[in-house]
Structure 1
């Protein structure tokens, strides 16, 4: 089991205790916040590996917390809510949340979603992953970094989704990936939105990594070629 730090923001005491117990059973460290203002103060401290945010909270609400979390970095966030499910899901995803669960839900479902998200973002500790060198970029799947050797070994600043995309495409050079497969890998199976999001991430990766030969397969998807 990997030791992750999870920040759980939930004002229902009984629910937060149950979720905390399930999360800790996975070997993860959990810090619980029952007030949005207190959680807001923690954003400026050491970042966790995952935030789990309720939307309706005393003090600062989940939307504002999400905005501030994403302004500080790209820590993954799972939204949970008992309000208008479709509206909250759309707004949350548009603001940068990585997954959404509507109340009531089984704690086991949250664990499954959290595991898949953490493995997608940080990689599975049980797998040995080697560095990838292509066109003078060094891509480290474990550390989730990209170094530009032609630019004084500077780090390329990629968001979580940009990194997920480049790891997927460079993990199998020359293989074509459909937009559907990219969405499943980068956004998750429960993504609700347009496939144009893939094109936007591809555009940003091309700008940040101009020597990567990221080829468009019109009407299908993308692939990375070796040269």
Structure 2
């Protein structure tokens, strides 16, 4: 080793996820704030003698986790946790406040509501008793004598151009090979890049995402570290 072996680190690791089976790059995650690797093992002891002191240690069941903390997300990151592919179509509920012209409400021309999904309420009885209406194209006909503002609810169908991640009861995260890189600094002021390899990492399905008007989102993705078919779990390497 040609550089000072005494070194320390004060930076996150950039990570590249590869599909475990094909080894094809799947996600470049270079926006994390913290990447924490934890390794554990079970230790059992043989005891002997008066007082039953521990005499021989046996280690087994090595396990580990990679914990990734981030304030930035992508739809592919959510797909990583869901275990599903990103789709391009979905439906969502739209709420509009429209003013009647006579007994007619006009849905904006750029809004296409799904037939049979439209409900209308007086503005002062939102989500109360819905009105009896008829719908023809973008025109909603109200009961006789109706006037003023009304709240309109309806489903909008997006057929393409969206990014949709679905969480269901049958899909779970798949395994990945993960390569990481982070700079270390030696006592001689040298920079040495450390290369990390997680041979079989499987993200946990758990997710907590707090959407707040007082703070920035924070997400933690935890991957269990498994042994691959060559019993490899985790490598740390540095080039001297």
- With the shorter chain as reference, the TM-score category is under 0.3
Between the two structures, name the one with larger relative contact order (CA 8 Å, sep ≥ 6): 2
TM-score, normalised to structure 1's length?
Answer: 0.22
Give 1 or 2 for the bigger CA radius of gyration: 2
Larger proportion of strand? 2
What TM-score, normalized by structure 2, do the two folds share?
0.21
More helix by share: 1
